[in-house]
Structures are given as C-alpha cells and as structure tokens.
Amino acid sequence: MLARALAPSRARASPPRGSPRPPGSLARPLRRLRVGASDARAHAHDASASGPPSSSGADDDPGTPPRARPHSHSHSHSHDDDLEDASDAVTTEHGSPLWRDFVLACTGDWGGCCVSFDACGVPLDIPLRYVHGVGRVPAANMPFREEVTDWMTKCETVATDDGVELRARRAMPEIGNEDAIGSCGGAEWGEDVAFVEEDPVRVLRGAGEDKTILPDGTFSAGARRLPLCPGEVTVVQHCVANPSDASERVRVVHKIRRVRSDWETVSVDAWLERRGPKCVAPFANERRVGLDELADADAWEIVPEKSAVYYLMWPEEEDPRAGPDGGSAFTMLADAGAWEDVFADADFLDGDEEEKEEEKEGKEDESDESDAEGSSPTEDAFVGDAPSSPSSFPPRGLIRLPLGAWAFCGACDGAESGVGSGGEAGQLVVECGWAPVGERERTVASRAYDRETGRLDTVGLARETRRRNK
C-alpha cells in the first residue's frame, strides 16, 4: 500500500530541522503529533456543524487528513515528545498554508469535456439534444440521430467558508444550429447555448481537521461510510492534477453500489478540464491507457514530498448525535517516525518479539519436516511465509479510460504498488489515476474501505515518477 511505500522514502527525503520548506511541499521535519478518540469526536462535531451533506451523494467532508490512527497499544516515546514542536505540524485544514495553496490551484473557471462511461468502460450517448424551434428532445426519440458522447462543459470551482463548491454545466448537442456553442471545449459559449446545469456539489467541508488534498489541486472526496443496503448508489469524487501543467486536471465522478457482499461500479464520468483559453477537444475515442502500462507497477516510484496518506480515525464508541460520520476525523501522518509507530502498533504487526521468534522457529521446523517427507517444491511454495502465486492482471473492477487515465473499484490484493494497492489486503479500494500522455509523472488518488462495515480507512494521494531505467 502507499503508506508502506512512502514510509522509508519519506525518512530519506526529510530535510534537516530548521531548513526552509519548499512551496507546496508536504514533507516537513515534524515531531509526532497524535489525536486521540476524544479529539476525533471534537473534530467531527465541528464538521457536523457545517451542515448536511450535499444532495449529489458525495460526502461534504470527504477529505480530511490524519495525524495518527488511534491505537490502544502503548507507544515507545513520551507524551512530552508528542507535544514538542506541535506548532510546526503539517496540516491541510481550512486556513492553513497548504489549504491556501490548494485553493489557488483548484478554483477558477474551467472549460472542458466530459464523457460518461458504463461499468464496462463503454462511452454513453448524450441523452438529450437541443432542437432549435422545438427545445430539448430525448435522444431516444431521435432514432436516426448521430451518436454524440462528449459533453462540452464549464465548471466554476469556488472556495467557500466551508470547503470547495463545484458548479458544472454541460452543453447539449444542438440540431439546426451546430455553431451556437461558439468554440471547442466550451471555453467561450454564445448566449444561445442550451445547457444542463448540475446541482452544485460542495466537498471538503468541516472545520478543525485536515483535508484530503494536495497543494497542486488534487483531492479525494466521498462517503466516509459506504451504504450496506443492496443496490444503493454512492459517489466518490476524485480530482487529479497534471503534474507538469497546473492549468489542466482530470476529475472522475465514480458511482458505485452494493451488490450482495461486495461493491461494483455503476458508471464513471471523466472530465478533462483546462483553466484558460486553450481548448479541450473531444476524447471519448482517443487511445485507452494500455494494460502493459498499468501492469508494470515497478516502473513507478513515489515522490514522497508531493504525496500524502490520510487516516480516518473512528472513536471506539460512536456518538449517535454525530450523524452518519459517526464522530470520525481525518488526520495526516507527516514524518517517518509517525509512520513507523503506526505500523508497529497495527494489528497485523502486533505481538511480543518472543512470540514472533517462537512462531518463526515453529514454521522453520515445519518446513524441515516437510522437506524430510519429500514434499515437492510446488507444494512448499504455499506453506508458511513462502511466496504465493502472483495476482492476475488486469484486476476485476478496472476501467481503462482515454488520455492515460483509469478508474478502479475492487479488492486490494496487498501489493506494494500498482492498481488497487491503496489499502490493506482484502479492503475495498476505489481509485483514480492519470498519467498524461508523454509525461514521466502521474497522480493517483485512492480510498480504502473496510468491506464488512463500509467504513473508510485511508485516503492516499500519490505523485509517482517513472524510474530512470524504464
């Protein structure tokens, strides 16, 4: 998962104490700052005061970073160490320097193009036409229509006192006056353009907690708890910035639903947007990202100072007055020491050293006995700590999109990197990534949920670069 991959890299990348922090950098030499369950409830109470979630289905406060996942285990450092240099802590909460960097990068008027894809990645025909002299006509009533899959769009992104609001409009294909739109990408619309105006969506809401963002305008937003009712649809919003062009981004609106004991994709809306005069051309029929590009996970390495992992902390006892978020709060781990403590305390690494040593010796004895009995190498490969067979690719739930982008909703296989690796083995991962064509960097946003409870566990926002020898 991203957390594992980032921990050692961040330790190497941390500058010496007192050195200036590069603008927009997430890597700073912090002391460990921890938030307990009572603090999490306080954070969530502040967030709940901001108002109810938007009607879009996306969580109003889906992006809040974590400082440390709360554990009942003891820690190797003193409480005074926790408080030391707390004023230097990296935070992305509202009003912080990193939040202001994000707002500058994310807000403004964006013109672009949007394509809706079904769960198999097939682009969908726009369901409306505007016929001059008639008005809006459902595409189903026009059997001889020409298929159009690319909406021309405008999206006004504004900062509010409680997050960021997306106000999107889509221009309908026009019959009888095709020149009315005025320009490609919807950058300049004429007065007569007929459009569909979407309900405003407000994300990253809530005071007093970190937000799941990167300073370049990248963010992840969505429900903190997935619905367990079969068939119920929920929405995850991902926005990933072009690593080399601050005026370009891809937004993915990913709808998923509960099916039996699992979740699956319903549809994906992919938005390619630019801020400024440059047009965005239709892209539905452009080349899809190749399977070989996604399968070669080792070709990419994380840029730690431009990446972040956010843990969602849940109190031991949820407060029913806290609403559907259950008193949870995001926090961001910001230095290698905190990473090490989290993984040392995590359940999958928990245990006494003597017990671990005894367990290891026991497995070695079992292996010796198996060798003495003449077991085949193939059988031994699946015993104890021996490596298991590699996972197949592509994973179930992957949707390859044009322009080097992809979306994924499926099980995490526990791999260190690659598609669907943004969680612990067995968790549900909802992911979006974009590697702009011809670029050596890509951005990946992922959300990891517990399958049994539907609770969100982590949000990862990773900037990755292609290795020199690839």
Poorest-pLDDT segment among 170-179, 273-282, 293-302: 170-179
For residue 76, CA distances in Å to 237, 305, 331, 353 come to 38, 26, 20, 14
More confident residue, 272 or 55: 272
Q: What is the pLDDT of residue 362?
A: 57
With a CB cutoff of 8 Å and minimum separation 6, the contacts of 27 are 10, 13, 14, 15, 21, 304, 305, 334
- Over residues 247-252, mean pLDDT: 97
* pLDDT at 269 exceeding the cut of 80: yes
Average pLDDT, integer, range 318-334: 80
Burial class (CB in 10 A: 0-12, 13-18, 19+), 1: buried
**Cα 169 to Cα 129, 154, 186, 266, distances in angstroms:** 15, 5, 10, 22
Residue-level pLDDT at 366: 52
The pLDDT score that the predictor gives to residue 87 is 42
pLDDT confidence bin for 315, thresholds 50/70/90: confident
242, HSE (Cβ side, Cα atoms, 13 Å): 18
Mean pLDDT along residues 101-127: 96
Most confident residue range from 123-132, 212-221, 224-233, 359-368: 212-221
Token pair 């079904």 is at which residue?
118
- What is the C-alpha to C-alpha distance for residues 97 and 90, in angstroms, rounded to an integer? 9
Rounded distance between C-alpha atoms, residue 452 and residue 449, angstroms: 9
Can you give the residue ranges of every domain in the chain? 2-348+391-466
Letter string b/e over residues 307-335, b meaning 16 or more CB atoms within 10 A of that residue's CB: bbbbbbbbbeeeeeebeebbbbbbbbbbb
DSSP 127: S
pLDDT of residue 123: 97
What is the structure's pLDDT at 149?
Answer: 95
- Model pTM score: 0.73
Query: Between these two residues, 134 and 354, which has the higher pLDDT value?
Result: 134
Looking at 79-88, 128-137, 373-382, which range is the least confident one?
Answer: 373-382
Residue 42: the pLDDT is 40
Residue 257's φ and ψ, nearest 5 degrees, are -140, 160
d(CA 112, CA 107): 14
For CA atoms 378, 379, 380, 381, give the dihedral sign.
Answer: positive
Q: Which comes out higher in pLDDT, residue 250 or 83?
A: 250
360 by DSSP, 3-state: which? helix
- Other beta carbons within 10 Å of 100: 13
Strands 174-175 and 128-131: parallel
Q: Is the pLDDT of residue 2 over 60?
A: yes
In the predicted structure, residue 414 carries a pLDDT above the cut 50:
yes
Task: Label residue 416 exposed, middle or buried (CB < 10 Å: 0-12, 13-18, 19+).
Answer: exposed
pLDDT band at 279 (very low <50, low <70, confident <90, very high): confident
Supply the mean pLDDT for the chain.
Answer: 74
Q: Is residue 448's pLDDT more than 70? A: yes
pLDDT at residue number 122 = 96
DSSP string, 402-468: BTTEEEEEEE----SSSTT-SSSTT-EEEEEEE--TT-SEEEEEEEEE-TTT-BEEEEEEEEEEE-T
Place of tokens 């990645």: 121
Mean pLDDT of 134-140: 90
CA of residue 174 relative to chain centroid, distance: 35
CB 435 within 8 A of CB 244: no
What is the token pair recorded at 122?
A: 């097939």
3-state per-residue secondary structure call for 363-395: HHHHHHHHHHCCCCHHHHCCCCCCCCCCCCCCC
Q: What is the pLDDT of residue 225?
A: 93
Percent of the chain residues topping a pLDDT of 70: 65
The pair of three-digit structure tokens given for residue 145, joined into one six-digit string: 């229509």
- Whether the pLDDT of residue 440 is over 70: the answer is yes
Write down the pLDDT at residue 413: 81
- Residue 109, exposed/middle/buried by CB under 10 A (0-12, 13-18, 19+)? middle
At residue 16, what is the residue type? P
Report the percentage of the chain scoring pLDDT > 90: 43
Averaged over 122-134, what is the pLDDT? 91
**DSSP-derived secondary structure for 328-340:** -EEEE--SHHHHH
Query: Is the per-residue pLDDT at 224 higher than 80?
Result: yes
Q: Choose the weakest-confidence range: 129-138, 390-399, 424-433.
A: 390-399
pLDDT given at position 276? 85
pLDDT value at position 189?
65
Higher pLDDT, 424 or 45: 424
In this prediction, residue 449 carries a pLDDT of: 96
Higher-scoring residue by pLDDT: 114, 186: 114
Answer for the pair 330, 69: CB distance below 8 angstroms, yes or no: no
Q: In the predicted model, is pLDDT for residue 316 greater than 80?
A: yes
The pLDDT score that the predictor gives to residue 188 is: 56
- Residue 360: pLDDT band with limits 50, 70, 90: low
pLDDT at 388 over 70: no
Question: What do you get for the CA distance between the two ends of the chain, in Å?
Answer: 21
Is 208 in contact with 43 (CB distance < 8 Å)? yes
